[in-house]
Amino acid sequence: MFAQRLRPRRLRISENVRSMVRETTLSVKDFVYPIFVVPGENVCEPIPSMPGCNHLSVDKAVELAKEIASLGIPAVEVFGLPEYKDEIGSSAWDMTSPVQRAIAAIKKEVPDLVIVGDVCLCQYTTHGHCGRLDGHYVDNDATLPLLQNVAVSQAEAGADIIAPSDMMDGRVRAIREALDDRGMTNVSIMSYAVKYASGYYGPFRDAADSAPQFGDRKQYQMDPANAHEAMKEVDLDIAEGADIIMVKPALAYLDIVHRVRERIEYPVAVYNVSGEYAMVKAAAQNGWIDEKRIVLETLTSMKRAGADIIITYHAIDAAKWLKE
Ligand code: PBG
Ligand code: ZN
């Protein structure tokens, strides 16, 4: 009889042995939790398309930030719904808008929590596009000064990291310049360098009221079929001064995460987006999957693919599960 000598199962024999040879570990320190701030006071309204997430007024956002910090999660990313919208999205750099007020209030009350500001215009423009329009075309270069305004206003409010998600060419350089000109040289840039034109953003667009009113975002966000182009985007954003490179969405693009990880010596972030979150929540609510197990397995796969940072709506639940 054939003598079996090579037995990978030996190293799976017990939990302690498995833990000795485990290659990837998920930690609460990997997470960034996204929050949605709205006008008003004492507001905590569930977001229907994203069960477990809420629209929060600034006071409630500060309360949540304290809980986030006490769980050991190192960072929040702040998104907002403004008081008013116009053609150019000027409420995006209004210091009295919910985002700027939330950043300032969280910085004051929870000073150690890292604050990431999402820089884009789609939540703030009447047309819902991520830049300034020229007819029906999003004008790249005319958008850059507006993004500089947003980045500077968030940094002045107290953001530690600026995260441009608009996908205009040259915005990392423009934002770096605007920050440096004002002496804000220690504010980092986490670029949404590789952001695909994805169907997975649907629930977020409901939550942020940011769906385009005509057309789509395919003239500025990337074609899901492209991988070489992702490497080009990464190289450009690093050359322009990005400190952290993000790939978004995460789950359907883990091959891209892996390729980016192999290519660069910078931290890599992934955005585990709203559609990925909503699918898990819906299946869990139906009793079709084990939510805890699926979430931890999925987040671990993002680490294994090469991510250092995971922006995820599961962060609070996952932080609690990792403690157990
Ligand atoms: C804004 C922005 C989007 C997301 C983050 N910033 C949506 C979009 O591009 O339409 C998506 C986040 C998510 O789906 O969780 N540009
Ligand atoms: Zn946008």
Q: What phi and psi values does residue 134 have, to the nearest 5 degrees?
A: -125, 100
Query: What distances in angstroms separate CA 66 from CA 5, 20, 31, 106, 118, one per listed residue?
Result: 54, 34, 15, 8, 20
Element (H, E) at 294: helix 291-305
Q: Which two tokens stand for residue 88?
A: 């150019």
Residues sharing a CB contact under 8 Å with residue 10, sequence separation 6 or more, in sequence order = none
Whole-number Å distance, alpha carbon 7 to ligand 2 midpoint, is 51
- Report phi then psi at 215, rounded to 5: 65, -155
Q: Are strands 75-80 and 54-56 parallel, antiparallel or unpaired?
A: unpaired
Tokens standing for residue 1: 């009889």
Instruction: Please tell me whether the peptide bond between 249 and the residue prior to it is cis, using omega within 30 degrees of 0.
Output: yes
Centroid of ligand 1 to alpha carbon of 263 (angstroms): 25
List C-alpha distances in Å: 272 to 70, 146, 216, 276.
22, 27, 21, 6
Substitution site in 204, 248, 280 for ligand 1 pocket (most atoms within 8 Å of beta carbon): 204
Task: List residues with catalytic annotation.
Answer: 195, 248
**Ligand 1: does its nearest atom lie under 6 Å from the Cβ of 120?**
yes
Q: Which amino acid is at 316?
A: I
Phi, psi angle pair for 209, to nearest 5°: 50, 50
Give pLDDT, residue 2. Answer: 75
Residue 86 is given by DSSP the state B
Which pLDDT score is estimated for 268? 98
Instruction: Please report, rounded to a whole number, the percentage of residues in the chain having pLDDT higher than 90.
Output: 97
Give me the residues of the chain with pLDDT under 50, please: none
Give strand ranges (E) for 44-198. Answer: 44-46, 54-56, 75-80, 114-119, 132-134, 137-139, 161-164, 188-195
Does residue 273 have its Cβ closer than 6 Å to ligand 1? Answer: yes
Question: CB of 126 within 8 A of CB of 82?
Answer: no
Asked if residue 278 has its Cβ within 6 Å of ligand 1, the reply is no
Enumerate residues with CB within 5 Å of ligand 2 (an ion).
Answer: 120, 122, 130
SS3 78: strand
pLDDT in tens, 209-256: 899 999 999 999 999 999 999 999 999 999 999 999 999 999 999 999
Determine the Cα–Cα distance for residues 268 and 194; give it in Å rounded to an integer: 11
- The pLDDT value recorded for residue 85 is 97
Ligand 1 center–CA 82 separation, angstroms: 16
Q: How far apart are CA 126 and CA 87, in angstroms?
A: 6
Best of 143, 165, 196 to mutate for ligand 1, by most ligand atoms within 8 A of CB? 165
